[in-house]
Structure 1
Amino acid sequence: MTDLEYGRRRQLLSVRGHSVAWVPPLLLLVGIVLLDFNTSERFRIVGWIVLVPGTAAAICGMWTTAAFAGLAVVTYVAVDSAWPDQYRAGLGDFVLVALGGLMAVMASAVRLRKERQTLHIQDIAETTRRTVLRPLPPRWAGLDQAGVYLAADVEARVGGDFYDIQPGPHGTRVLVGDVQGKGLGAVETAAALLGTFREAGYHEKDLATVAERLEIRILRHRRHTTALGRDDGDRFATAVLIGFPEDPYPTIGVVNFGHEAPLAVGPGGVGELPSGDGLPLGLCDLVGGLPPVRRVPLAADETLLLVTDGVSEARDRFGAFYPLARDIADAVAADPGLAEPRHLVRRVRDGVLRHSGGRLGDDTTAFAVRRIQEAAGEDGEEGRLRS
């Protein structure tokens, strides 16, 4: 086990960086000994000391478990010998304690091997996630940005949600989306779309052309997976493509591929941008064309909040959906500083986890962007009005 893996395993039972995993089995050992000495000869519980190495096997390392197994045997002999011959637990309980300690050591070794395998898988998944969702500077391409991503599969920590920012000579483009389905197939599709977005978002002047390139890419990707004999040839993705002009105009371009409508969060409250009637990427041929580019006003002091359906479809134990817009509106009214991207996505994350009790039914992403104030022009009040 590497130092990093060992450090991760110790985090849950540590105080100021020092492991305290040995404390519970030690307290159990002391408690059994005290109870045995303070009960009558008719109620001998020293044999229960077999629970000590078993407890250590669940939370301690193998060598610590072995130490507790040996200590349990020595303690059993010492405590049992202190009683008169006719009241001793005898050889039977001694064999039980000795065999229990040996099995605890073996169980500890198996658990640690499984932990190493799990941590290795998590490292691979984390590397994959960081490759698909590349790290973004907090202030980049004229935008303040922040994002949170929570995978429904907490072990894998990777799914089909994606987002990115691509600056270029024609302004800054933002893409947020959610690939239908889960697993590596969804990750592959997300990676294919992001690769096309990063190229087309930089080179193409018209936002409509970028949207067209994304639609073509997912169709090509589907044909490729079908040729490989895989059963995900009908995969699609909802997405929102946003274009921030190079100059600080008070409008942005929005192409919505069947995704959740973005929210504009600012001092004037929370407004929903037009969602449009576009179909998801990969299905646009069903209506004979792509969704239109809509020009939407956005004030300089407004933050654009984009989420995936893991947020909007989060349910509490009564089946009620998470009221995103209302929750954000109440929070910003109480503290306008929450409209900043980093505070806003944390509020969404905490709100979803609180509402759902930590039980996520789908991958959950919240992404917020706002023009850097120093680079923004003077916008009118129209940016706070939504159709």
Structure 2
Amino acid sequence: MRASTVRDRDAGLAGLSLHTPALPGTRLPRRALLVISVCLVLAVPAIDHVTPPYVHLAPTLFVAAAITATFASALVTAMIGVGAVAAEIVAALDRGTLTTEEVIVKLMALVVLSGCMVMFCHLRERYERDLMRVRSISKATQRVVLRPLPERSGPVSIASAYHAAEADTDLGGDLYAVTRTADSTRVLIGDVRGKGLASISETAIMLEAFRASARLRTSPQKMVADLEESIRWGTAEFSGAGVDAGERFVTAVVVDIPDDEPVVRLVSRGHPPPLLLHDGKASPLQVSQPAPPFGLGDLDSYTVEAFPFEMGDLLLLYTDGLTEARNLERTFYPLAQRVAAWSDRDPQALVQKIAADLGEYVPGALCDDMAVIAIRREEPPAAGAASLVFEAVSEGCRPSG
């Protein structure tokens, strides 16, 4: 789901960097284009020397400057421009036409064009540096706010995928987190009203409140109450002028998976129901008393309900960016029907299959944030291993070994 990372590669000639970020596999074509530009600059005076007086190749020097500006740095473009002007002067001196009106006009036009191309390259480089800084900040923010989920937590294995709808960012309005208590694994998945960077404050509030509650080892009931209180405080604190705090809320599912019981306990706050994959079937875990989203309900307006979650079962948590994705016929993505046939896969394979299938189903890019988590109950780890997993997940990192 994630967009592939664009690699920055510098290609050069005679030790000069072209400096423009390139997609993998484009380094050789750019070198070839630079060689073409250099050859044009060198070839024009030589060919003009042997061609008839009525044949003029000087206009091709404009092409050399324009081609170089499409991919090279401002420095390289300036050097090609200077070389093109010098080549025009050499060719005119050889023909004895340097002081003619036609050659003077061509020289002035070539100087102006080269100057414009250099300015264009300078502005492009500045934009690219700004974009790289924004991407770097976005990735750093994601690592702090939306930490990678562990592959293993207690008796469950975990895989996840995340897609931010807003371009050039890896963080949006969807959120997820996994924490450990002394005897259970807790999972949060949610969707902040709105999408993209504008929803980061609520995302950060929810995730930090969830992690803090786990550190304090509170009960699931107390955790949900803490989340409600935190999101209310956050929306009131960070709502700008003219923004109604009551219009800002978070739909979420809070899941508690005890180590020693084949059940999953969950609280649903206006969020799509999780899917339980068992024996080739995908069953939505519908709570009997749905509660309003966080920020709109009371501190005790929820119930914790338990559902069977046996060895080998898969639990799929997701946001509506997945189920509301549409194909060319404007039909929603049929998640339950698709994943029922993939219930025998491990979490990582299931997430990868969903990602590939969604990519084929939806034309173009997704227009909404999307998050998905697959969880499978495994054999419980040994006591020492369980302690290691607990410490590693509490610190937000992946256990070694």
TM-score bin (small chain): 0.7 to 0.9
Match of 2:105 among 59, 83, 92: 92
The question of whether the paired residues in 1 share the 8 Å contact of 2:177 and 2:188 is answered with yes
- Report Cα offsets for 1:131-158 as digits up to 9, x if no partner: 1112333223333222222111122332
SS at match of 1:305: strand
Match of 1:321 among 314, 332, 338: 332
Distance 2:319 2:358 in 1: 12
Distance 1:309 1:104 in 2: 46
- Report Cα offsets for 1:156-175 as digits up to 9, x if no partner: 33212111111012411100
> Is 1:231 matched up with 2:249?
no
Letter in 2 for 1:352: L
Match of 1:364 among 370, 382, 395: 370
Distance 2:276 2:362 in 1: 24
SS at match of 2:22: helix
Instruction: Describe the shift of the 1:94–1:319 C-alpha distance in structure 2 as closer, same or farther (beyond 3 A).
Output: farther
Match of 2:295 among 282, 294, 312: 282
The question of whether the paired residues in 2 share the 8 Å contact of 1:170 and 1:202 is answered with no
SS at match of 2:336: helix
- Report Cα offsets for 1:290-309 as digits up to 9, x if no partner: 23212111232122221112
The question of whether the paired residues in 1 share the 8 Å contact of 2:317 and 2:373 is answered with yes
**Corresponding position of 1:61:** 73
**CA displacement at 1:129 relative to structure 2:** 1.5
**CA displacement at 1:44 relative to structure 2:** 6.4
Distance 1:140 1:275 in 2: 25
The question of whether the paired residues in 2 share the 8 Å contact of 1:22 and 1:64 is answered with no
The question of whether the paired residues in 1 share the 8 Å contact of 2:253 and 2:269 is answered with yes
**CA displacement at 1:123 relative to structure 2:** 1.3
The question of whether the paired residues in 1 share the 8 Å contact of 2:37 and 2:80 is answered with no
**CA displacement at 1:233 relative to structure 2:** 1.4
The question of whether the paired residues in 2 share the 8 Å contact of 1:14 and 1:21 is answered with no
Instruction: Describe the shift of the 1:206–1:23 C-alpha distance in structure 2 as closer, same or farther (beyond 3 A).
Output: same
- Report Cα offsets for 1:316-356 as digits up to 9, x if no partner: 333222222233334x27xx4xx222222222333333333
Structure 1: state its 5+ residue gaps.
377-387
Percent identity of paired positions between Structure 1 and Structure 2: 27
1:262-301 equivalence runs, <5 A: 262-265=274-277, 268-274=280-286, 277-285=290-298, 289-301=300-312
Instruction: Describe the shift of the 1:70–1:224 C-alpha distance in structure 2 as closer, same or farther (beyond 3 A).
Output: same
Distance 1:113 1:124 in 2: 17
Distance 1:232 1:114 in 2: 36
Instruction: Describe the shift of the 1:108–1:268 C-alpha distance in structure 2 as closer, same or farther (beyond 3 A).
Output: same
Instruction: Describe the shift of the 1:313–1:82 C-alpha distance in structure 2 as closer, same or farther (beyond 3 A).
Output: farther
RMSD (CA atoms): 3.7
**CA displacement at 1:179 relative to structure 2:** 0.6
**Corresponding position of 1:310:** 321
More off after superposition, 290-299 vs 170-179 = 290-299
1:77-116 equivalence runs, <5 A: 90-116=103-129
**CA displacement at 1:211 relative to structure 2:** 1.4
The question of whether the paired residues in 2 share the 8 Å contact of 1:258 and 1:278 is answered with yes
Distance 2:58 2:229 in 1: 72
Distance 1:270 1:44 in 2: 74
**CA displacement at 1:27 relative to structure 2:** 4.3
Distance 2:168 2:107 in 1: 40
- Report Cα offsets for 1:341-380 as digits up to 9, x if no partner: 222222233333333333221111122222334549xxxx
The question of whether the paired residues in 1 share the 8 Å contact of 2:20 and 2:73 is answered with no
Distance 2:334 2:55 in 1: 58
More off after superposition, 90-99 vs 290-299 = 90-99
**CA displacement at 1:43 relative to structure 2:** 9.0
Distance 2:86 2:282 in 1: 68
Distance 2:292 2:96 in 1: 84
Letter in 1 for 2:22: L
**Corresponding position of 1:21:** 30
> Is 1:140 matched up with 2:153?
yes
Instruction: Describe the shift of the 1:195–1:44 C-alpha distance in structure 2 as closer, same or farther (beyond 3 A).
Output: same
Structure 2: state its 5+ residue gaps.
1-5, 11-18, 383-401
Instruction: Describe the shift of the 1:195–1:230 C-alpha distance in structure 2 as closer, same or farther (beyond 3 A).
Output: farther
Alignment: residue pair count: 361
Distance 1:319 1:24 in 2: 43
Distance 2:38 2:243 in 1: 56
The question of whether the paired residues in 1 share the 8 Å contact of 2:40 and 2:61 is answered with no
Instruction: Describe the shift of the 1:265–1:12 C-alpha distance in structure 2 as closer, same or farther (beyond 3 A).
Output: farther
The question of whether the paired residues in 1 share the 8 Å contact of 2:34 and 2:68 is answered with yes
- Say which structure is richer in helix: 1
More off after superposition, 147-156 vs 252-261 = 147-156
1:171-250 equivalence runs, <5 A: 171-226=184-239, 229=241, 231=243, 233-234=245-246, 235-247=248-260, 249-250=261-262
- Report Cα offsets for 1:6-40 as digits up to 9, x if no partner: 54976634549x56533335447769989x99x99
The question of whether the paired residues in 1 share the 8 Å contact of 2:322 and 2:371 is answered with yes
Q: Report the TM-score, using the length of structure 1 for normalisation.
A: 0.79
Distance 1:267 1:313 in 2: 26
